[in-house]
Structure 1
Amino acid sequence: MIGKSMFKKILIANRGEIACRVIRTAKSMGIATVAVYSDVDRDALHVKMADEAVHIGPAPSNQSYIVIEKILEAIRKTGADAVHPGYGFLSENAAFAAALEKAGVAFIGPPVKAIEAMGDKITSKKIAADAGVSTVPGHMGLIEDADEAVKISASIGYPVMIKASAGGGGKGMRIAWNEQEAREGFQSSRNEAKSAFGDDRIFIEKFVDQPRHIEIQVLGDQHGNTLYLGERECSIQRRNQKVIEEAPSPFLNEATRKAMGEQAVSLAKAVGYFSAGTVEFIVDGNRNFYFLEMNTRLQVEHPVTELVTGIDLVEQMIRVAAGEKLTFGQDDVKLDGWAIESRLYAEDPYRNFLPSIGRLSRYRPPAEGKQPDGTIVRNDTGVFEGGEISMYYDPMIAKLCAWAPGAGSSARLAAIDAMASALDGFEVDGIGHNLPFLSAVMEHDRFRSGKITTAFIAEEFPDGFSGVHPSNEAARKLAAIAALVNQAVQERAVQISGTIGNHRRVLGRDWVVTLGGTGSDILEQTVSLDTGPDGATIRFADSTAVSAASGWLPGQTLANFKIGGESMSVKVNLVGTAIRLRCRGMDVSARVRSPRVAELARLMPIKLPPDTSKMLLCPMPGVITSITVNVGDRVEAGQTLATVEAMKMENILKAERQGVVKNVAASAGQSLAVDELIIEFE
């Protein structure tokens, strides 16, 4: 491939945001693009963006996106001379890269031998050890069954990490702390691996407690030049799936960064690697680091590296695949500023992050580009307002990034604040999503301090996420905002009703604001509102007062409020007589009543939710893959009842208490909506 002229047409063997990302760079280079799509992706954004598009089959990826022959047929139809695989799907499939090579089509990625060597986690660890890279203790051989998995786990010592040999993206991974979890984890990992990658081989390694997940970006050409482009901190994870990443890491010093980078480059050279790739390490509290795996592809979190280095990794991959030399050396790579990436997932944080599907009734990302304060906002996405989130693919909707200039902790905090503001300005409705959780992390003292590990979410949210409870100060600000919104609604009503005779309805000054809803108990604030030409003054029951101003008008769903001199971007929705307010992870329902109406409202009975304690309901839209009990069976607490697969993840449903099965309403292979009945107990 050395010396080959630049490509004329690139086919992107992927979908969603990464397909859109590759198309943007290819177009900027003057290269035509081809999209491929399944039945459910016919109207997807990547299809609309590409110059050409080819249908490749039904929705399930094993019938479309990962069928090599269908991709090859799309290449033949369109005359594409190169393929970018994105990440996931066929991106680390050596057979696919070999098939392209045989067909005379360039693979925009590493050579086949490097994919084979590094794509298998067992082989890669042996090569890393031979190359002088420190590795995590574990069992490097394949494991045949659950009994062997339990035996090996006990010999290594709990906790252990059960991983798919061909895995990635958190699929086919489980942490086991005891024999039962090792047995169940082995089977679940095997099932997920077979479904996602067509390869159910499993291995086990020691799980390092209190670790940090830090990875090194490498880039090499076909002329023997290999560099490292700094590191990314990826420790904020849930179920081994990265949620928030940043570059650089707040934990590494320059000496450790250099040592990790040099080891990553040594490993890449050992397998003749070129193109972009990532070497992942686990780092303990003393900055000892151990090799985990090498991802022979573009990483999901590559934008933060691009933001701090100024290097377009997709462009470099294309140029390297075309045989060009890198035009810069290791000494030219400088880390400038701080970047944060938040992964926006179609997962409901209030339901233990279970997948959510449906139509995006509202999708309005914040403004991208340079902001007035000098920070930069970037949003890599593959969806649009009115589009559908499918159950067949990964639940990621977008990757929101924020960059701030400078260095050290001040730059990091500036980037975090920029991210918090961008999240406040991101409107998503129609599905469950994790925006509130991402906002909560940005406000969390431990995250802001940089003292994080891969156990952050489990330790700081042990009972799951139930929203952010407003502090006293935040409750006052929300009460002030609710009063302003109510004032605007009431003034609009007065204007509509007009003047009857010589009488015009006079708005009251005194109100009782009740705040309740997700993550908050019932909070009441008594306020008095005095309006003027420059805004309003809001007085509370304790005689304190704040200035308040807003340009919000009925119908607007996002507005900027200035409360006591502080600007706040708040999502506003009128729901019946309530005002829903969302910002910084808080999601409250506010009701603004006159003092007399508030007094009467306190006497109203509270409507109780229906009793579902004797039912197992489907927690997410998905397919029942197995039911392990029958009518009349007595079950114990913790016993497995059913398994649901959604968005490429397998979820085991267990009994919360003892009981007897009265009715089994679902069967294996059946597709269920959220809250549909699976099992009923006596």
Structure 2
Amino acid sequence: MFKKILIANRGEIACRVIKTARRMGIATVAVYSDADRGALHVKMADEAVHIGPPPANQSYIVIDRIMDAIRQTGAEAVHPGYGFLSENKRFAEALEAEGVAFIGPPSGAIEAMGDKITSKKIAAEAGVSTVPGYMGLIADAEEAARISEQIGFPVMIKASAGGGGKGMRIAWTAAEAREGFESSKNEAASSFGDDRIFIEKFVTQPRHIEIQVLADQHGNAVYLHERECSIQRRNQKVIEEAPSPFLDPETRAAMGSQAVALAKAVGYTSAGTVEFIVDGARNFYFLEMNTRLQVEHPVTELITGVDLVEQMIRVAAGEALPFAQSDLTINGWAMESRLYAEDPYRGFLPSIGRLTRYRPPAEVAAGPMLANGKWLEDAQPGETAVRNDTGVFEGGEISMFYDPMIAKLCSWAPTREGAIEGMRQALDEFEVEGIGHNLPFLSAVMDHPKFVSGDITTAFIAEEYPEGFTGAQLPHAELRRIAAAAAAMHRVAEIRRTRISGRLDHHERHVGENWVVFVGDEEFPVRIRADKNGSTVSIDGEELRVESDWKPGSSLARLVVDAAPLVLKVDRIAAGYRLRTRGADLKVHVRRPRAAELARLMPVKEAADTSKLLLCPMPGLVVKINVAAGDEVQEGQALATVEAMKMENILRAERHGTVKSVNAEPGQSLKVDDVIMEFE
């Protein structure tokens, strides 16, 4: 077995690999750019080597710099994680030439299956059903438009060397095909150093289901069942689960057998994923094979008890797989929610800055997690499990240079319903401040009827949130519970405020029993009576019992209201609180009856008019300005392109108008709400 391995990656996946290597007694080497000097993976590793400036194309994907780090430290093997150099044939060949083991597949398999054009050709020759498309090289945007028209709209424009949603666009018209081709080509060149593009038919109403495979150097190969990855935004997965709520045993076995056959056909070893698109009749079509560890691998680990990183390391060291296909059963259900540094209230645009607060829920081990050693550090066994794979810490910086994912929150339970409920509670307890993040959106999805029923496709987000995400709308009964909780919390805060030294027996009479709780646009007149075990809050004649040990100043309140748990993220505001729960962000004011009367008379402050301005929606770099002062623009017309976190974002005109002035230029770095251009 190896004594020392280098992780050619960063963030949560580097931390994930280090945890398994540490458990196996293997020393680890981290690499880092200027931006990651104080990163968590650097702190966790036994050694760390600086490899260059923040941009990935000057550090993490520069093969020579990684090779220098290997030579400096004497690492015997390299785990590439995902992204960066994980599917780079030249990197695998460089390691082979150096006599260093690559914890991944052979370079030939990377070339055959890592390239999406080649992999589709091989799959077709092997008799695997594939989606119609054009696999040849495409010269320019005009040819892309012609090919798209021949295939039939809508089409998917994809980078051949792509992954993680980078270099992918859906086009419904020839104009969108031209535009998508250019953006995909630019993103592919920037992120992967390979700007080849292919086009395939976009299957509407599809499910995205993938099969995890694992193969050794002795001819053994197995599949570890499937993952449902249909909840996607901008072709990037957001929520995954294992197994799929849609597959039956026959389809699962057919997909698994086909995935294993494909892996054997290309001499594959290590962990890999065969991705399929599945229609409503459970017909499945090969999409691509990812010749690396997938972001969503934890849900497979949670239902099988197999540590995929450990098996990758053992396979690279020449060991045989310790199990056969018949040993790999499905135990329970697992969910994964990807925590992204992006603002769901601003179209999910990237957000950067300092994590002023980062408090994940406590990790809990259960089920198959206990079958394969200590999965979670210092975790206690329970009936359900919580796991959080992360690469950040409180006080750390979220950089504009890398992918916006900062953590993967996972839950496990014996049933799908239990896993969803476990995820709900874990999301409610996850505290993140200082940046925009998608926790409210993840919570809202967990309560969405279609998701709960398993009736989902890759169009779920576009169909269910066509105008974007504006926060969850909680039912009236839930707002009543929140009002009762706020009243009880306010009483505790008021007692503390009015307490007079030496007169502790009189302080409660200063608080009073009657209040009016404003929850958003709703009002709840309440009467509150307390005893030593909690409070009883009367709302419209109905009594709700509130129990909690919350203390003023605490940012998280765990309560039991009306015999059901309620977790609230708490911030103090004038005459009340900002309370967040289950995807809702609520301003809650608790006032005395007379103050409530006066509050109703207060005018509402109007927001500033920015309708004549194009504001930068996120920190980023201006890539392109499409118009000039004096130009007339139409609704939907591209005005500018801003790049942030490796993604190009095209800003479009909301209505017809004339450009008055342009205040930005290509190459300029902008902050949120910087004015890009003004309209007449």
Shift of residue 577, structure 1, vs aligned partner: 3.0
Provide the residue aligned with 2:122 in structure 1. 127
The 5 Å alignment of 1:205-604 reads 205-370=200-365, 374-405=383-414, 411-496=415-500, 499=503, 506-516=510-520, 522-540=521-539, 542-604=540-602
What amino acid is the match of 1:104? Answer: G
Provide the residue aligned with 1:3 in structure 2. none
Does the 8 A contact of 1:499 with 1:505 survive in 2? Answer: no
The 5 Å alignment of 1:57-136 reads 57-136=52-131
Work out the number of aligned pairs and report it.
666
Shift of residue 140, structure 1, vs aligned partner: 1.3
Does the 8 A contact of 1:217 with 1:279 survive in 2? Answer: yes
Shift of residue 666, structure 1, vs aligned partner: 1.1
Does the 8 A contact of 1:131 with 1:266 survive in 2? Answer: no
Shift of residue 248, structure 1, vs aligned partner: 0.5
- SS of 2:259's equivalent in the other structure is helix
Distance 1:224 1:495, change over 3 A: same
- SS of 1:195's equivalent in the other structure is helix
1:43-95 C-alpha deviation (Å, 9 max, x unpaired): 00000000000000000000000000000000010010100000000000000
- SS of 1:56's equivalent in the other structure is strand
Shift of residue 500, structure 1, vs aligned partner: 12
Shift of residue 124, structure 1, vs aligned partner: 0.3
1:184-241 C-alpha deviation (Å, 9 max, x unpaired): 1111111111111011111100011100000000000001101111000000000100
1:39 and 2:37 correspond: no
Distance 1:501 1:549, change over 3 A: closer
One of 646, 649, 656 as aligned partner of 2:647: 649
- SS of 1:173's equivalent in the other structure is strand
CA distance in 2, matches of 1:258, 1:501: 70
- SS of 2:601's equivalent in the other structure is coil
CA distance in 2, matches of 1:507, 1:395: 46
CA distance in 1, matches of 2:412, 2:35: 34
- Structure 1 unaligned spans of 5+: 1-5, 406-410, 517-521
Does the 8 A contact of 1:35 with 1:54 survive in 2? Answer: yes
My pick for the range that moved more, 301-310 or 632-641, is 632-641
CA distance in 1, matches of 2:509, 2:549: 23
One of 14, 17, 25 as aligned partner of 2:12: 17
CA distance in 2, matches of 1:173, 1:496: 64
Distance 1:396 1:503, change over 3 A: closer
Provide the residue aligned with 2:172 in structure 1. 177
Distance 1:83 1:503, change over 3 A: closer
My pick for the range that moved more, 18-27 or 569-578, is 569-578
My pick for the range that moved more, 50-59 or 487-496, is 487-496
One of 598, 605, 621 as aligned partner of 2:619: 621
Does the 8 A contact of 1:283 with 1:289 survive in 2? Answer: yes
Does the 8 A contact of 1:661 with 1:679 survive in 2? Answer: yes
What amino acid is the match of 1:509? Answer: E
Does the 8 A contact of 1:551 with 1:561 survive in 2? Answer: yes
CA distance in 2, matches of 1:397, 1:140: 34
Distance 1:591 1:225, change over 3 A: same
Distance 1:673 1:503, change over 3 A: closer
CA distance in 1, matches of 2:499, 2:538: 26
Shift of residue 576, structure 1, vs aligned partner: 3.3
My pick for the range that moved more, 138-147 or 372-381, is 372-381
One of 670, 675, 678 as aligned partner of 2:676: 678
What amino acid is the match of 2:395? Answer: G
Does the 8 A contact of 1:162 with 1:174 survive in 2? Answer: yes
- SS of 2:623's equivalent in the other structure is strand
Does the 8 A contact of 1:498 with 1:504 survive in 2? Answer: no
What amino acid is the match of 1:465? Answer: F
Provide the residue aligned with 2:371 in structure 1. none
Shift of residue 575, structure 1, vs aligned partner: 2.4
Distance 1:504 1:342, change over 3 A: closer
My pick for the range that moved more, 596-605 or 364-373, is 364-373
Q: Report the identity percentage.
A: 70
CA distance in 1, matches of 2:671, 2:329: 50
Does the 8 A contact of 2:633 with 2:656 survive in 1? Answer: yes
One of 186, 191, 195 as aligned partner of 1:196: 191
One of 137, 159, 173 as aligned partner of 1:164: 159
Does the 8 A contact of 1:494 with 1:505 survive in 2? Answer: no
- SS of 2:406's equivalent in the other structure is strand
One of 632, 635, 638 as aligned partner of 1:637: 635
CA distance in 1, matches of 2:388, 2:143: 45
Does the 8 A contact of 1:100 with 1:106 survive in 2? Answer: yes
Does the 8 A contact of 2:495 with 2:507 survive in 1? Answer: no
Shift of residue 484, structure 1, vs aligned partner: 1.2
Does the 8 A contact of 1:343 with 1:399 survive in 2? Answer: yes
- Structure 2 unaligned spans of 5+: 366-379
Does the 8 A contact of 2:51 with 2:60 survive in 1? Answer: yes
What amino acid is the match of 2:528? Answer: L
Runs of 4+ in 1 over 4 A off after TM superposition: 496-505
1:455-484 C-alpha deviation (Å, 9 max, x unpaired): 111111111100011211011011111101
My pick for the range that moved more, 387-396 or 633-642, is 633-642
Provide the residue aligned with 2:145 in structure 1. 150
Shift of residue 413, structure 1, vs aligned partner: 0.7
CA distance in 2, matches of 1:213, 1:285: 11
Provide the residue aligned with 1:658 in structure 2. 656
What amino acid is the match of 1:383? Answer: V
One of 44, 49, 57 as aligned partner of 1:54: 49
1:651-671 C-alpha deviation (Å, 9 max, x unpaired): 000111122222211111111
My pick for the range that moved more, 553-562 or 44-53, is 553-562
Does the 8 A contact of 2:499 with 2:507 survive in 1? Answer: no
CA distance in 2, matches of 1:419, 1:502: 44
TM-score by length of structure 2 reads: 0.96
Shift of residue 578, structure 1, vs aligned partner: 3.0
CA distance in 2, matches of 1:498, 1:555: 23
CA distance in 2, matches of 1:500, 1:575: 26
1:535-554 C-alpha deviation (Å, 9 max, x unpaired): 111111x2111111111111
1:406-450 C-alpha deviation (Å, 9 max, x unpaired): xxxxx1011000010110111101100000000001011110101
What amino acid is the match of 2:449? Answer: D
- SS of 2:105's equivalent in the other structure is coil
